[in-house]
Copies of this chain bind each other. A is one copy, B any other.
Amino acid sequence: MLDKNTIANDFKAIQHDIVEKLTALDGGALFETEIWERPGGGGGESKVIQNGALIEKGGVNFSAVYGKLPDAVKKSFKTDQEDFFATGVSIVLHPHNPWVPIIHMNIRYFEMQGNGNETLRWFGGGIDVTPHYVIEDDAKGFHQFIKNTCDRSDPNFYPKFKTWADDYFYIKHREETRGIGGIFYDRLTPESTGISWEQIFEFSKNVGNSFVPIYTQLVKNTREKHFTLEEKQWQFQRRSRYAEFNLVYDSGTKFGLQTDGRIESILMSMPPMASWVYDYKALPDSAEAKTMALLKKGIDWTGS
């Protein structure tokens, strides 16, 4: 049986590897490290970059926390178990250039133990991309890459987790998806997947290790692209939708707020600058209108 400390250690190694490679990719600023402890148990290591050459604001966080489950979480998990352990790596990067997408990746492991009950445990995670302007070839390339990563573990994973991402990263009150999706999965166990704990852990690490090659490819053709003030303003507007999703719907943010997590780490995903314009309507046939038309569920990016 997998040990939770092994999982936490491997996750932390993935965080460090990503930070090292992102530092090289950015080339303009260093990540600042903050090691923090959670009053109720455990802690984490936040790595944040601001005003880099590529990244305007981004965070690569690791945490391993434990303690008593707050009542609100018990209720939403429909459990009366008391003790929990959670570890994960979470990334959100907001680039300067509006042609570079926002990217998010998360891998996590959760377990609960109760009074004489068996231990409940599962893996969750995902990776998804939120372009300010959707570039269709880049969207296809991203989905194909993450599909290949999934296929190495189980050919059923990509279609299932891609649909899950479409449903999860959905801004209901706007009737639009947050971006072009990707994969999202939760509560993976041998029972729910048909593969072993070790294989699920391997899959989880593969998702984590897919982050750098995916992001490197996405920024390659876009980071030096010229952009106008109007395109930057559009980026601010798209970021406001990102803020809405994270504050209104995101489970990780809610869990963090409910468990008294470190607030600056929980909200490191929030955009460096965002704008809400009243009742904005993109001009017909504009790049903005084309992007809006692609923020919907069920697009088959891999042509499968």
Contacts and interface: CB of A to CB of B under 8 A. Distances in A.
Interface residues of A, number: 30
B257 A248 contact: yes
A279 B48 CA distance: 10
Interface stretch (A10-18, A216-224, A263-271): A263-271
Interface in A271-302: 271-279
A33 to B, nearest CB: 12
A96 to B, nearest CB: 14
B276 A267 contact: yes
Contacts of A240: 270, 274
A271 B268 CA distance: 19
Most chain B beta-carbon contacts within 10 A, residue among A247, A248, A276: A276
Contacts of A66: none
A48 B240 CA distance: 19
29 contacts: A34-B279, A48-B279, A50-B277, A57-B278, A59-B278, A172-B257, A173-B257, A173-B263, A173-B266, A174-B263, A240-B274, A243-B243, A243-B247, A243-B276, A244-B247, A244-B267, A247-B247, A248-B257, A264-B279, A267-B276, A268-B278, A270-B276, A271-B276, A272-B275, A272-B276, A272-B277, A273-B274, A274-B274, A274-B276
Interface of A: 34, 48, 50, 57, 59, 172-174, 236, 240, 243-244, 247-248, 257, 263-264, 266-268, 270-279
